[in-house]
Structure 1
Amino acid sequence: MTTFNSLIIGGVISILPFVANSAELEAVLLGEFSNNSIDVTQMKPMAVLDLLTQNSQQDLTFTFQEMSMTRGWMEMPKLENACMYNKVKTPAREEMGYFSQYPITLYPPLRLIVRSEDAKHYSTDFDISSIQASQQMRYALAKNRSYGVLDAQIANKKQLLFFRDGPNSVEKLLEMLSLNRIDGFIEYADTVNAYISEHRVGYEIKSIPIKGVSKPSPGYMVCSKTDYGLQLINAIDKAMSQASFQQALISIHQEFASVEDKSLLGDELIMIFEHSN
Structure 2
Amino acid sequence: MRCAIVAVLLVMSVTVRSEPIYVDIISDYSPDSNKAPADLATQLLLKLEQTLQGKLVLAFMPASRKREWRELVRNSRACLYNKVKTPEREAMALFTPYPLMSFPANRLILKDQSNIPDTISLGTVVRMGLNIGVSEGRSYGLEIDNFIAANQSAFWVAQGNQSAYRLRVMLSQGKLDGIIEYSSVFITEHPSAQALNSYSFHAIEEAGLTIFGYIACAKSNEGKKAIDLLQSALERPDLQQAILSAHTGLFFEQEEPFIIRSLHKAYNIQH
Shared fold (TM-score, shorter chain, > 0.5): yes
From 177, 184, 188, give the equivalent of 1:190: 184
1:51 corresponds to 2:44: no
From 66, 71, 89, give the equivalent of 2:67: 71
- Counterpart for residue 5 of structure 2: none
Larger radius of gyration: 2
TM-score (structure 1 length as normaliser): 0.82
Please say if residues 43 and 252 of structure 1, whose CA atoms lie closer than 8 Å, have aligned partners that are also in contact. no
Q: Distance in 1 between matches of 2:42 and 2:59?
A: 11
- Counterpart for residue 11 of structure 1: none
Query: Residue type of the partner of 2:61?
Result: Q
1:229 corresponds to 2:223: yes
- Counterpart for residue 88 of structure 1: 84
* Pair 56,123 (structure 1): closer, same or farther in 2 beyond 3 Å: same
From 205, 218, 222, give the equivalent of 2:212: 218
- Counterpart for residue 179 of structure 1: 173
Q: Distance in 1 between matches of 2:116 and 2:261?
A: 29
For the residue of structure 2 that corresponds to 1:33, the secondary structure is coil
- Counterpart for residue 145 of structure 1: 138
1:242 corresponds to 2:236: yes
Query: Residue type of the partner of 2:137?
Result: N
1:124 corresponds to 2:143: no
Q: Distance in 1 between matches of 2:60 and 2:168?
A: 26
From 98, 104, 107, give the equivalent of 2:103: 107
After superposition, give the CA deviation of every residue in 1:31-70 in whole Å (9 maximum; x if it has no partner): 101569xxxx964233212321233376112110011111
Please say if residues 30 and 67 of structure 1, whose CA atoms lie closer than 8 Å, have aligned partners that are also in contact. yes
For the residue of structure 2 that corresponds to 1:98, the secondary structure is strand
Please say if residues 109 and 179 of structure 2, whose CA atoms lie closer than 8 Å, have aligned partners that are also in contact. yes
Query: Residue type of the partner of 1:138?
Result: N
Root-mean-square deviation (CA, aligned residues, Å) is 2.6
Q: CA deviation at 1:180?
A: 2.1
Q: CA deviation at 1:142?
A: 0.5
Q: CA deviation at 1:202?
A: 4.2
For the residue of structure 1 that corresponds to 2:171, the secondary structure is helix
- Counterpart for residue 4 of structure 1: none
Q: CA deviation at 1:157?
A: 1.6
TM-score (structure 2 length as normaliser): 0.83
For the residue of structure 2 that corresponds to 1:106, the secondary structure is strand
For the residue of structure 2 that corresponds to 1:255, the secondary structure is coil
After superposition, give the CA deviation of every residue in 1:73-121 in whole Å (9 maximum; x if it has no partner): 1111111211001111111111211111111111101100111x32x33
- Counterpart for residue 6 of structure 1: none
1:31 corresponds to 2:27: yes
Q: Distance in 2 between matches of 1:42 and 1:84?
A: 18
For the residue of structure 1 that corresponds to 2:248, the secondary structure is helix
Identity %: 25
For the residue of structure 2 that corresponds to 1:53, the secondary structure is helix
Q: CA deviation at 1:220?
A: 0.7
Q: Distance in 2 between matches of 1:88 and 1:42?
A: 20
* Pair 185,42 (structure 1): closer, same or farther in 2 beyond 3 Å: farther
Moved more, 232-241 or 156-165: 156-165
Q: Distance in 2 between matches of 1:35 and 1:188?
A: 23
Deviating runs (4+, > 6 A) in structure 1? none
Q: CA deviation at 1:164?
A: 0.4
- Counterpart for residue 201 of structure 2: 207
Q: CA deviation at 1:174?
A: 2.0
- Counterpart for residue 8 of structure 1: none
Query: Residue type of the partner of 1:100?
Result: T
Query: Residue type of the partner of 2:133?
Result: A
After superposition, give the CA deviation of every residue in 1:116-151 in whole Å (9 maximum; x if it has no partner): x32x33123221123446x33211100111111311
For the residue of structure 1 that corresponds to 2:117, the secondary structure is coil
For the residue of structure 1 that corresponds to 2:267, the secondary structure is helix
Gapped runs of 5+ residues in structure 1? 1-19
Gapped runs of 5+ residues in structure 2? 1-14
Moved more, 216-225 or 164-173: 164-173
